[in-house]
Structure 1
Amino acid sequence: MTSRVMLISPAISAALREARFDDSCPLDASGLRLARAAAGTLPAVSTVWVSPTPRCRETARALGLDAGPGPGPAGMDAGRWRGATLAEVTEKEPEALAQWLTDPQSAPHGGESVHALCDRIARWLDETVGQVTGRAVAVVEPEVVRAATIRALGAPESAFWRIDVPPLTATELSGRAGRWNVRVGGQLGAPHDT
């Protein structure tokens, strides 16, 4: 059985515009408008997951997606940096930030390392997504898309920060028995293969 999941990154929010570690802020007016404009462009799906953040939940609602009983995977735990901008962390903890950005095992903020996130998302892919029949959609934070892509391709975790995940884009994974293929960069609103 081949499993298919389309990972959709949330629409733009103030936190994304400000390069702020997730602070649970909602979509801004522009993000909400763009997500609503993309509604109805997704293929039919049998299962929907949505990360627990407000911007993911609002994106899913704007796209007309109803989440299933279980939540989608949460984004990376940023520990004490949660709510701070990248500029603020750079100013206050430049060595810690540099370590976190270059060492996938590092978590100087007291939260989750890139390695731990990639492992958590790999388990979700194999144990949850891999059991779904039909096509599924998950509206998830950009770092979840990065982690899924890293694990699906067997790429080194050091490549994590080199994967750009723009707002309202789709990354599709298909596979079975722990082997995944990746289709990247679909802009929502563009036609998808069914």
Structure 2
Amino acid sequence: MTVRVMLVSPATSAALRQARFESDAPLDEAGARRARAAAGALPRADLFLSAPSRRCRETAAELGATAGIRPELGDWDMGRWQGLRLEEVSEREPQAVAAWLSDPTAAPHSGESLAALCARVGDWLHSLPDDTGRVLAVVDPAVVRATIVRALALPPQAFWRLDVAPLTLTELSGRSGRWNLRCGRVLGGEPV
């Protein structure tokens, strides 16, 4: 049986607009409004899930979905960089940022490496039983990117080449070991 995994990226927040390592910031008013407007475009699902971050939970609520929280779908753990803007971190720790961007096993922020993030979300994806049906999960952009990398067996460096806009739908269909990808469908209007 084919499993369909539909990943929705959260609506905008101030942290997202500022390129800040902060997934627990609330949605901004524009993001909440766009999520409400997109509610009618949400595809049918048998199971609704959300990452634990505030922006994902709020997006799910604004979309009208009652979603179960799954810790394994949580955002990338950025350790001591949490709450900082990428620009700030680059100025303070240029060598650490360079290592983080070039070595998938590096975690200079004392958080999670890219390889660990991809493994975590890949383990979740591959654990889905063949009779799961249609799963819709609101997850942070890094989780969408890591899931694509693992599902398609891409090299970890491909993660940095994937863009995930707010309120877009990424769909994987198939089963463990053989996934097909459809990405970037906008929910309810133009991407931000």
| Residue identity matched to 2:149 | I
Aligned residues with identical type, % of pairs: 58
Q: Which moved more, 1:61-70 or 1:39-48?
A: 61-70
SS of alignment partner, residue 185 of structure 2: strand
Partner of 1:21: 21
**How far apart, in 2, do the equivalents of 1:147 and 1:8 lie?**
14
Preserved CA contact (<8 Å) 1:72 1:140: no
Q: 2 CA distance for matches of 1:24 and 1:9?
A: 14
Question: Partners of 1:26 and 1:68 in 2: how far apart?
Answer: 19
Q: Matches of residues 104-143 of structure 1 in structure 2 within 5 Å?
A: 104-127=104-127, 129-143=128-142
Over aligned residues, Cα RMSD in angstroms?
1.4
When normalised by structure 1's length, the TM-score is: 0.93
Going from structure 1 to structure 2, the CA distance change for 1:189 and 1:72 (only over 3 Å counts) comes to farther
Structure-2 separation of matches of 1:156 and 1:23: 25
**Matches for 1:176-191 after TM superposition, within 5 Å:** 176-189=175-188
- TM-score w.r.t. the length of structure 2 is 0.94
In the comparison of the two structures, how many residue pairs are matched? 189
Q: Contact 1:9–1:165 at 8 Å: present in 2 too?
A: yes
Partner of 2:153: 154
Taking a change above 3 Å as real, the CA distance of residues 88 and 76 of structure 1, as seen in their structure-2 partners, is: same
| Partner secondary structure for residue 180 of structure 2 | strand
Paired with 2:56 and 2:136, the residues of 1 have a C-alpha distance of 12
> CA distance change for structure 1 residues 70 and 159 in 2, over 3 Å: closer, same or farther?
closer
Unaligned runs of 5+ in 1: none
Moved over 4 A (4+): 69-72
Task: Report what 1:88 is aligned to.
Answer: 88
2:151 counterpart letter in structure 1: A
Give the Cα–Cα distance (whole angstroms) in 2 for the partners of residues 23 and 45 of structure 1. 25
Residue by residue over 1:3-40, the C-alpha shift from the partner in whole angstroms, topping out at 9 and shown as x without a partner, is: 10110000000110000001511000000000000012
* Alpha-carbon distance in structure 2 between the residues aligned to 1:69 and 1:27: 17
**Cα contact 1:20–1:84 (8 A) shared by 2:** yes
CA distance in 2, matches of 1:62, 1:69: 15
Deviation at 1:175, TM superposition (A): 1.0
